[in-house]
Structure 1
Amino acid sequence: MDDDDAREPLTPVEVFGVDVREMRQARKMSLRGLATATGYSAAYVSKVENAKLVPSARFAEGCDRAFGTGAVMARQRQVAVAGDHPSWFVPYLQRERRATRILNYSTLYVMGLLQTPEYARALYRMGAARFSASTVEAKVAERAARRDILDRLDPAPPVLWVVLHESCLRVVVGGPGVMMRQIERLLEDAERPNVSVQLLPFSVVPASDSPFTLLATTGTPTVLHADGPQGGRPQETPALTSSACEIYDRLRAEALGHSESVTRIRKILEEYAP
């Protein structure tokens, strides 16, 4: 098997970026030239071409005008952001699959990568009542599929470190039965050699009250992802990622150790038993 065969297939967002670059270069157009034609900055065009952000509809339409491609790029952009994931979350998913280290701090809910289908379903039903039953099931299936990175052999699965605030185990999502299965899953995952779980008990005032995730990939800058009311955005600014790493180190120092955390989580599990 050669190197090309071993590579993962390009994601739709990556395909869009490659096509923009090839069309631009075929027309002997510079980054600045396409930026001017679309009304965006050269830095924005570069990030789109390198799949570091999801293109806006206006940018795709501007590309069609600049390239003379009718509505080809606009339609391709729709494909790139299609599915049940919001467009702002697509870059996170891309980085999650490539990450060699994932450092997560959860304050209210167990992180998506470790959720059971029942737990995820309950969250979608509570937080997004506008979704149809079929849409909810599609979202649950997609979230469950993300777990395959924990079981892959080549490349090796990422090192996953989770600092879990005790609230995540006390907020009853879907009822006691759902919580029991979720906590059991959490304990099962904690047995993986590449997974570390630390519980931050109520008795500790945490270094941060906002959840966030740090994604590290060999050879590339660490990326910070923090959710907000309008969704989340990846941040690569060194000052921001460095500050987040320092906060994460403090959270790990404040939390219980892995073994002690597992013991405490088992006791919480017993509280949900009928």
Structure 2
Amino acid sequence: MSEETPAEHMNDLTHLGVEIREARENRKLTQRHLARAAGYSESYVSKVESGTVLPSEKFVAACDTSFGTNGLFARLRERIVKRGHPTWFQPYARLEREASSILNYSANLVAGILQTGPYARAVIRAAFPREADEFVNERAEARLQRREVMKREKPPLLWVVLHEGALRTRVGEDHHMREQLGHLLKEAKSPHVVIQVLTFDAGAPPSAESFTLLSFAGRSGVVYSDTPMGGQVSDAEEAVTYSRTVFDRLRAAALSPAASLALIRQLMEEYPQ
């Protein structure tokens, strides 16, 4: 597996920020002008131009429109994002951004798209105990950027079934777990997000492994499944149909959304503030 180093990733981020600043200045625009055009704050523009944050897809699209750069900054951002994901995950990450619905079953950990920063870093650190902090932060930032799909004008339906074990597994410090569980409650307030919990009392789950089903308008869906060496994406009709049947059984066996949130709230209160 060939990947860029964390230092190269940071250099790319700084380079993108410099290019955006120079394009803005060449067109005699202030940070305030760009902020208004993109729908962001001046401080956000400043952070992008200084290379301290990865700009959103919406922001770089606004830059390309304002500067007339024909998708240049969108392409530069895409290259950076690819470096933040392992090679085997990149095809799925691209598909997830285009999906009309995302159906996820998480057997052991909170679904990546719903993870907080500290939780994601703790998960990645556990998987890569010998890597530098820059590597862990890079992977975590790429994971957090997956949330952007829910900020689309018409976001996908995100339906997540979490096994109770995923909620009870202590990841990071106590306050990190409280923050993570609180984040789930906050996200579930969206009309586009449904969260259910499959409790221990439900018995043996229909699936022992985590997987995600993506649906698309006008074309067939795909299923992403975890493996010990990474993950794989399949658009085989048999695999998609089988996975959809399993997911239906999972959410049928899980608590109702309201009861699920009550359990998550109860678990959150077990951690000190």
- CA distance change for structure 1 residues 131 and 207 in 2, over 3 Å: closer, same or farther? same
Could you tell which deviates more after superposition, 262-271 or 157-166? 262-271
The amino acid across from 2:159 in the alignment is: W
Cα distance change on mapping 1:200 and 1:8 into 2, 3 Å: farther
Q: Distance in 2 between matches of 1:253 and 1:195?
A: 17
Identity over aligned residues, as a percent? 39
Residue ranges of structure 1 left out of the alignment (5+ in a row): 16-78
Cα distance in 2 for partners of 1:99, 1:168 equals 25
In our comparison, the structure showing a higher alpha carbon Rg is: 1
The runs of 4+ residues in structure 1 deviating greater than 6 Å are 7-12
- State the Cα distance separating 1:97 from its structure 2 match: 0.2
| 2:132 is equivalent to residue 132 of structure 1 | yes
Give the drift of 1:133.
0.8
Q: Distance in 2 between matches of 1:95 and 1:268?
A: 33
1:237 equivalent to 2:253? Answer no
TM-score, structure 2 as length reference: 0.70
Note the C-alpha offset of 1:8: 7.9
What's the secondary structure of 2:159's corresponding residue? strand
Aligned-residue offset at 1:224? 0.4
> Does the 8 Å contact 2:84/2:141 carry over to 1?
no
Cα distance in structure 1, aligned partners of 2:227 and 2:85 = 16
Structure 1 SS opposite 2:83: coil
| Matched residues, number | 203
Question: Could you tell me which residue of structure 1 aligns to residue 26 of structure 2?
Answer: none
Contact preservation (8 Å) 1:81, 1:87: no
Return the alpha-carbon distance in structure 1 between the equivalents of residues 231 and 80 of structure 2: 18
The residue correspondences of 1:252-271 to structure 2 (distance < 5 A) are 252-271=251-270
Alignment gaps of 5+ in structure 2: 1-64
Q: In the alignment, is the contact (CA less than 8 A) between 2:103 and 2:213 conserved in 1?
A: yes
Question: 1:202 matched to which residue of 2?
Answer: 200
**Structure 2 counterpart of 1:189, one-letter code:** E
Quote the residue 1:247 is aligned against.
Answer: 246
SS of equivalent to 1:256? coil
SS at match of 2:200: coil
Report deviation, 1:10.
11
What does 1:212-223 align with in structure 2 at a 5 Å threshold?
A: 212-223=211-222
Task: Please show how residues 108-123 of structure 1 align to structure 2 within 5 Å.
Answer: 108-123=108-123
Cα RMSD between the aligned structures? 2.3
**TM score, norm. by length of structure 1:** 0.69
